[in-house]
Structure 1
Amino acid sequence: MSDISQAITREQAQLRAAQLEVHHYRLEIDVTDDAEFQVDAVITFSASQGAIGHTSFIDLLGHQVSSAKLNGTDVSYDGAQLALANLQQDNELVVSSSSQYSTTGEGLHRYVDPFDEAEYLYSQCEPADARRIFPVFEQPDLKATFELHVTAPAHWTVLSNEPGDFALDDDVARWTFDTTPVMSSYLFALIAGEYTQVAQSSWDTESASVPLSIWARKSMAFHVDAEEMLDITRAGFAFYEEQFGVAYPFTKYDQIFVPEFNAGAMENIGAVTITESYIFRSAVPQAMVQRRAITILHELAHMWFGNLVTMRWWDDLWLNESFAEFVSHLAAIHAGYSDAWTTFNAAEKTWAYRQDQLATTHPVIADMVDLDAVAVNFDGITYAKGASVLRQLVAWVGTEHFMAGVRAYFTEHAWSNTEFSDLLRHLEAASGRDLAGWADEWLHSTGVNTLSWQRHEDSVVITQSQPARQHRVGIGFYDVINDRLTRTDFLEIDLKSEVTAIAAQESPVIVVNDGDLTYAKLRPDTTSLSTLTERLGDIDDSLTRSLLWGAAWDKTRDGEISGSWFLKLILQHIGAETDSSVVFSLLRQATTVLDNFLPSSQGSGYREQFATGIWELAQEAEAGSDIQLQLVQAYIRHARHDAVVAQLAEKRGLEGFSVSTDMSWSALQRLVALGEVGESEIDAALAEDDSSTGHLAAVQARAMIPTSDAKAEAWEQISTGDLTNLELRHMVMGFGDVHDPQLLDPYVDKYFDQINQLWADSSFETAETLALGLFPMWAITERTAQRTISVAETTSYTGLERILTELHDDVRRALTAQATF
């Protein structure tokens, strides 16, 4: 059974919180051994009067326990928990144990750089993987102080939540870190290895000076845009301290790029870990640069919202993430990214709309009955729908009232745990509004409204799908001025019922929800849609264009219009698009259409037509521009002829366009999938790029070799091999990237026959990669749909059930789209 399924329930957590008050963890961790780490833990806690003499438990996953005593008496261990019997008013638990390092990115992960064989460790504890490192009361409302001592090789750097110092003892260093303020266990940080400090600075005010540092592994340090990151970080400090009315509450702020990281970043107090995907060793779309900036600001926001004031239980995970997502976009505008809300609409809201239309949709405030439920709810509703709903709330009550409520919330609840009702109370007091009805409408319900509008004489009639909610929306009227579609009038109204009629001028384009204040799908009127089909690229506002691109995509996803129409719309107007995030999203959506929404009998023809069109646009684009880069990347993804791709693999591109090593790898991988090149060319490319990035590119390329033997070998390594989390991810991507789906016919049955066992044998992160990455979307048939739902309905694994239910929805949607074609 998967470790993550040894879940703590909300009911258990509530009982334990009522029984216990945790005071202090003293941790001595030895990481000098390559195979395993040693932990000596002393934990002090007290029991409530009613719990004295009774039994509780503390969490510890997968350790070898050599000694464990509670108040001097041996305690039992079952591989997941230590039983704490005969509790006293004051208790001391002493545990000595050891465990192997993680290779899945959960707990204490170990990585060896293939370039220089340098070693790197980092912890990842959210939502409940501190228990893989040391014995811990693994729930957010049992905060305590942490005192950390680490024994490490003398040449390593060791970082944690607080500043530390070391004393050398021959070839080891003994590190001692300052004791933390009270904090939740999921925020614990231990980063150790041959990390190098890329840059350092400080955030200085009249009352404090906070050290700021950027860290990375040695072989990646050169590529880190450290000064840009520090500029964004300082802008975030300035914005949040002003808006929240509370100075940064911790001692320092390290940001550490760590290898093989599963998430984008993690908000460990004072030691934020960030994926190396945000280290750009070659040109990337500006969309990625902006996404990195927003991620930096998102994690910084958590220092207040999540770390200073923490959710009591994971039911309020949405608020932790949604708040950080919402304010990070406000902060991004302050930091100079004026089009941050366009990025939010193009990327985050698209994610939310998809998630909210699945059979597994859930209210923003989800019912997190146990840690299994938590693990699968780091999703588009928790992050993006919640942030969208907060934006709608701010549009309703006003930014100043919202921030006044937030400031009062921080003042009252600093260092403690709260529930959403605590924040709602402060927002009501600041705004003078009763928000209970709003919370019921938006936070305790599911689904997304569709706003459609039609023209009737001198009015526009707006209809919203049921159940109707109150929407604060802007309505924009666009006319042709200097050959551009420019907004000539604008008003804000509240939509409170199913049908709302407003007086309106005649305009070529009318946009409901202009400004994107609410959360809803859009269905433009016939005149607007006709104008947009011909002139979408002429709209002079990036957010409005993104909204209307989104409406076109929704109609395509919902099977209301052919995927071929959407592809034509992209080819007609993407060349005029100036927003990188919109281009990025459109090209991903085009891939979904080409992979899933076109009948197999016509897919190859439309893919060739689309690739040809994209290459023509790339040739017409400004040399070296962001859009040219994205168009060339898309061409490589969809090309089915080798001549141009071969040139790109040899780093020969368009005039004025520099082909990076990363792009040449992508081109080589496409040649591999075409059957034009193989092992020897992959080996030669790896010899030229002997780096961790090159290693992963080669892993993916080998899995793309279009032979039965290569696919069989890849499946064997994926299902039984000793791969790290990132190697597994790249091999899975390569395995499924085929030009002839018949090559993977044998693996449809293999998937459904084996996925239960693969899930059972894996940690959650690994299991999720396998369940999603190996799913046979190359075989979109009624039989695939039926087998998917059959396994979903019979599996005993909650996480797998949810993933398969969502994949079943994807297959059904694809079948509907193909029928519409």
Structure 2
Amino acid sequence: MDDMSSANLTRRETAARSATFNVHQIRVELDLRDATNPQQRGFGTTTTLKFEASATDSWIDFIGESVNRVTVNGVDVPVDYDGARIAVTGLVASNTVVVEATGRYSRSGEGLHRFVDPVDGETYLYTQYEPADSRRVMACFEQPDMKAAYTFIVHAPHDWQVLSNQSVVTTRVTNSGQTVEFAPTLPLSSYITAVAAGPYHRVDSTWTRGEQEVALGVFCRASLARHLEADEIIEVTRQGLDFFTDAFAFAYPWGKYDQIFVPEYNLGAMENPGLVTFTEAYIPRGAATDAQRGGRANTILHEMAHMWFGDLVTMRWWDDLWLKESFADYMGSHASAAATRFTDAWVRFAANRKAWAYQQDQLPTTHPIVADIPDLEAAKLNFDGITYAKGASVLKQLVAFVGEEPFFEGARRYFAAHAYGNTTLDDLLVQLEDVSGRDVRAWSKSWLETSGVTTLWLETDAAGERVLMQSDPRPHRLRVGLYDLIEGRLVLREQIELDIMAERTPVSLPAADLIVLNDDDMSYVKARLDEASVAAAATALSTLAPLPRALVWSSLWNATRDGEMPAATYLDIVRHHAPAEENIGLLSGVLANTAYTIGHFVPVARREAERTAWLAAAEAALDAALPGSDAQLAWARAFAAASAVSDASADRVRAILGGNGPAGLPIDPELRWSLITALATTGNSSEDDIADELRHDDTADGRTAALRALASRPAADVRAAAWDRAWNDESLSNDHLDAIIAGVRAGARRDLIARFDDEYFERIAEVWSVRSIELARRLVIGLFPGTDTTDAVDAWLAENQIAPAALRRLVIEQRDHLARGIRVRAAQ
């Protein structure tokens, strides 16, 4: 348990600490030799910190089992430790502090995570720190502006791979194991240091550019080795290193480039220099669509961009998190489209990634891209759609504003000026302004330092003139696309480029069957379709080119979310055009939005009819899809999901599980578990059926899926047991907790769980205080009750105004999602 108020570091106190400290070297020695013993909760960790100080006392951060000994400049001092901070006194101008402690192995994905593979019984370790969990492994200064050169020494079992940010210098083998020492790093913030250890499968390669040669490594668990698509991962890695080396004119500085895929990972990936970590979800155990591989390539390139934006030059504090994440999100799509075979990256970004930004930016908790982050809890929750997707969207607009070459030249100057240092917003703006000659500061005030999303639409005034209207006015440079419906196809006639700033902008636009207000997706804006354009889209949406098609799908979805388009209209268009959608990235997004629409925006009285109609449509599209195609796989997954809320096709589900599915459909473990869970959720599969499936797939993913299926069975006592376990079983790993929560909510069976609504609001404050923020967040979001009114949540907010700000933010956001659903249903 982490019941320590001192764990939540504030911006003010960390700024004061960095003003009086200058850190040089940190040496970390970890003893992991007993990691394979499940009874061993902790590991030895000894940290030596060398720093200059102008204050005589301060604190060092650490969260673990115990602090056993502290020496200051060679003298033992009393251990003054509150569970999160080690007080140090008697400091002089130049100091060496040694902290001997016991860390705690994690099952939440925070700190040093320990995982035992059920396939072969092997133990795997990896670290994950951002924003502030390196203190769970080593004593440190847990703030990004106190960089140091780190040296890691790891004691581990004989046959393990041992990895860190730098290459191995020495390996010494003894009877008790091996001791591996790594070369010192260049100056790093604590949150991007990393260690991984275990019998990982390894694939080696190299990347060469001129005289520079970089060793490449790709790692995964041994039991997943046959599924690892190492060749494609290495190809994308080489393409990215080529691209960024040219674009940034700064050679890759971190020595080797290892990429490791790890189990039970909380994120998509993390940019630890020299040892990038990824979720194992990027290693499909069966069939995968090209969109999934494109998403993996995007993530590889996103993390690679961080080698410069974030690792080489790091934000001073989490207010400027965007300085790394917005840029990396932009660069992931840009480099994918420019340097790899995934040339549709911006298409997927327009339809799917920006949807995340639009949703987050309409919440009452929205914030500027350059945010006010007073403490670490706020920082943890700011890894959101604003920082990532909105930031990338407005950077795309900035590139259009200043020009691509000036943008990259500004980045090059930024890296040259601040390499291995820390920066704020102004440090980048001055470079971009100098090189482009544009008023970048005014652009920043409009886009980086404000919140909210503009809505754009066309009106016709009393004189018959067209007027372009925008809510929450901002400066936009955009293109308006005019499309004609010719012989059943929508064909681009022309694009008109505009600069708009005011709430009302008169425009001279010829009539057209379809008018796309933000064609080419140059700006960050919710663009509405007029009535005639909706009719044209309903007739011939699937005939558009991919990018305008993505933008129309996005417009239709946003109008549905905002209650301006009836859910039935959106669902009719989906049923008509989704089966013809050729871009698998767009199709996947549309299928997810359709399921959400039925569950949240369709009035209750019509919901069962829409569920049945959607199940039939998904089954028909599955049967009509090209055998072995990505579309067939996507429709099979949609059919499985739809079968979990309607049992009209239970016999067909059983037939597919029995091997009588459509020709060419790969019935891989993921799809099998989706179908098994659908049957369990609708009461058509027993505990014995689930156990039998687990015997055939007794893997980590199989065990997680079985937990979900068991908790999904539609019996009051089953859901009650799952509810109790989610709150009270602290042995659950992060993935297993997710599975239990998904089971509680399965099938949208409010009748089985509504009795727990009051208990939810009684529990959340306590769980926030005693569980790690990662696990507490899952409980607060995942078990939020889907009531018919906001009365209960409003009462909790009124009674808990002094609850932690991060907790209140989560509850406020869930209330807004609930209120939106109620509002949109009422508008029908």
TM-score when scaled to structure 1? 0.97
- Which residue, 65, 78, 82 being the options, matches 1:78? 82
Name which of 301, 304, 312 aligns with 1:300. 304
1:423 aligns with 2:436: no
Aligned to 1:407: 412
Q: In the TM superposition, what is the alpha-carbon distance from 1:504 to its structure 2 partner?
A: 2.4
| Other-structure match for 2:27 | 26
CA-CA distance at 1:19 after TM superposition: 0.1
Which residue matches 1:735? 744
Q: Tell me whether 1:506 sits opposite 2:511 in the alignment.
A: yes
Give the match for residue 722 of structure 2.
714
Cross-structure match for 1:555? 559
8 Å CA contact 1:649–1:666 kept in 2: the answer is: no
SS at match of 2:239: helix
Letter matched to residue 673 of structure 2: W
**Given the superposition, is the C-alpha separation of residues 455 and 528 from structure 1 closer, same or farther in structure 2, using an over 3 Å criterion?**
farther
Q: Are 2:11 and 1:10 aligned?
A: yes
Q: 1:665 is aligned with what amino acid? A: W
Does 1:820 pair with 2:827?
yes
Per-residue CA deviations over 1:648-676 (Å, capped at 9, x if unaligned) read 23343112322222211111111111111
> What does residue 247 of structure 1 align with?
251
* 1:315 paired residue among 316, 319, 324: 319
Amino acid at match of 1:582: L
* Residue 344 (structure 2) pairs with residue 339 (structure 1): yes
Return the offset for 1:713: 1.6
Please name the residue that 2:471 is paired with. Answer: 465
| Residue of structure 2 in register with 1:178 after alignment | 183
1:557-595 alpha-carbon deviations (Å, 9 max, x no partner): 111122122111100111221111111111111111111
- Distance in structure 1 (CA, Å) of the matches to 2:610 and 2:723: 30
Q: Deviations over 1:438-483 (max 9, x none)?
A: 11111111100011014579964211112x1110101111123564
1:301–1:328 CA contact under 8 A, matched in 2? yes
- Equivalences for 1:720-759 in 2 at 5 Å? 720-721=728-729, 722-738=731-747, 740-759=749-768
1:534 paired to 2:539: yes
Give the aligned length.
Answer: 812
TM-aligned CA distance change 1:224 to 1:458, over 3 Å: farther
Structure 2 partner of 1:141: 145
Is the partner of 1:561 in helix, strand or coil?
Answer: coil
- One-letter amino acid matched to 1:472: R
Task: After TM superposition, give the deviation of residue 608 of structure 1 in Å.
Answer: 0.6
**Corresponding residue of 1:609:** 613
Counterparts of residues 68-217 of structure 1 (less than 5 Å): 68-71=70-73, 72-75=75-78, 76-164=80-168, 165-197=170-202, 199-217=203-221
Match of 1:519 among 519, 524, 541: 524
Would you say the 8 A contact 1:4–1:764 is kept in 2? no
Q: Counterpart in 1 of 2:817? A: 810
Q: What is the distance in 2 between the residues matched to 1:246 and 1:547?
A: 36
1: CA distance, partners of 2:90 / 2:365: 42
Which letter maps to 2:434?
Answer: A
Q: Is the 8 A contact 1:4 1:371 kept in 2?
A: no
Q: Which runs of 5+ in 2 are unaligned?
A: none
In the TM superposition, what is the alpha-carbon distance from 1:795 to its structure 2 partner?
5.6
Instruction: Return the alpha-carbon distance in structure 2 between the equivalents of residues 152 and 331 of structure 1.
Output: 38
Contact 1:788 1:808 in 2 (8 A): no
Matches within 5 A, 1:606-755: 606-639=610-643, 640=646, 641=648, 642-721=650-729, 722-738=731-747, 740-755=749-764
> C-alpha distance in 1, partners of 2:466/2:160?
67
Alpha-carbon distance in structure 1 between the residues aligned to 2:21 and 2:674: 54
Deviation by residue 1:124-158 (Cα, 9 ceiling, x = unmatched): 11101001111100111110001111100101110
- Give the Cα separation in 2 of the matches to 1:358 and 1:444: 17
The aligned amino acid for 1:127 is P
Match of 2:328 among 324, 327, 343: 324
Once residues 587 and 84 of structure 2 are traced to their aligned partners in structure 1, the CA distance between those partners, rounded to angstroms, is: 47
Change in Cα spacing, 1:654 to 1:788, as seen in structure 2 (3 Å) is: farther
Q: Classify 1:477/1:244 alpha carbon distance in 2 versus 1 (closer, same or farther; 3 Å).
A: same
SS in structure 1 opposite 2:188? coil
CA distance in 1, matches of 2:184, 2:269: 24
Closer, same or farther in 2 for the Cα pair 1:2/1:477, shift >3 Å?
A: farther
Deviation per CA, 1:712-733: give whole Å up to 9, x if none. Answer: 2212221111111111111111
Name the CA distance, whole Å, in 1 between partners of 2:622 and 2:802.
47
CA–CA distance in structure 2, aligned partners of residues 622 and 206 of structure 1: 46
Aligned partners of 2:558, 2:357: CA distance in 1, in Å? 12
- Residue range with higher mean Cα deviation, 609-618 or 500-509: 500-509
Distance in 2 between residues matched to 1:578 and 1:267, nearest whole Å: 33
Comparing 129-138 with 453-462, which one deviates more in the overlay? Answer: 453-462
Residue pair 2:365, 2:813 contacting (<8 A) in 1 also: yes
SS at match of 1:86: coil
CA displacement 1:532-570 (0-9 Å, x = unmatched): 12222221x111111111111111111112212211110
Identity %: 39
Per-residue deviation, residues 249-276 of structure 1 (Å, max 9, x unmatched)? 1110000001100000000010000000
- The Cα offsets for residues 382-429 of structure 1, whole Å up to 9 and x where unpaired, read as 101111111111111110110110111111111111111111000001
Whether the 8 Å CA contact 2:357–2:390 is kept in 1: the answer is yes
Which one of 581, 596, 599 corresponds to residue 577 of structure 1? 581
Inter-partner Cα distance in structure 1 for 2:784 and 2:258? 38
Q: Distance in 1 between matches of 2:670 and 2:272?
A: 31
Secondary structure (helix, strand or coil) at the match of 2:108 reads coil
- The range that moved more, 393-402 or 488-497, is 488-497
Pairing 1:48-59 to 2, within 5 Å after superposition = 48=54, 51=55, 54-59=56-61
Alignment partner of 1:138: what SS?
coil
Q: Secondary structure at the match of 1:808?
A: helix
Question: Which residue in 2 is equivalent to 1:357?
Answer: 362
**Which sits farther off after the overlay, 24-33 or 731-740?**
731-740
Q: Give the conservation status (yes or no) of the 8 Å contact 1:674–1:739.
A: no
Distance 1:509 1:707 in 2: 50
Contact 1:127 1:375 in 2 (8 A): yes
Q: In the aligned structure 2, how far is the partner of 1:66 from the partner of 1:796?
A: 34
In 1, distance between residues paired with 2:803 and 2:507?
Answer: 53
**CA–CA distance in 2 between the matches of 1:157 and 1:485?**
56
8 Å Cα contact 1:649-1:663 kept in structure 2: no
Check conservation: 2:151, 2:185, Cα contact below 8 A. Answer: yes
Q: Compute the displacement of 1:783 (Å).
A: 3.5
Give the Å deviation of 1:40.
Answer: 1.4
Tell me the CA shift for residue 2 of structure 1: 4.6
Query: How far off is 1:696 after superposition?
Result: 0.8
1:499-552 deviations in Å (ceiling 9; x for gaps): 22232233211111100010011112222222112222221x111111111111
Residue 62 (str. 1) matches residue 64 (str. 2): yes
Determine helix, strand or coil for the equivalent of 1:256.
Answer: strand
CA RMSD of aligned residues (A): 1.6
Contact 1:704–1:735 (Cα < 8 Å) also in 2: yes
* Contact 1:673–1:739 under 8 Å retained in 2: no
Compared with structure 1, are the counterparts of its residues 785 and 563 closer, same or farther at alpha carbon in structure 2 (3 Å cutoff)?
Answer: farther
2: CA distance between counterparts of 1:770 and 1:622? 40
Counterpart residue identity of residue 45, structure 2: V
Change (3 A) 1:57 1:260: same
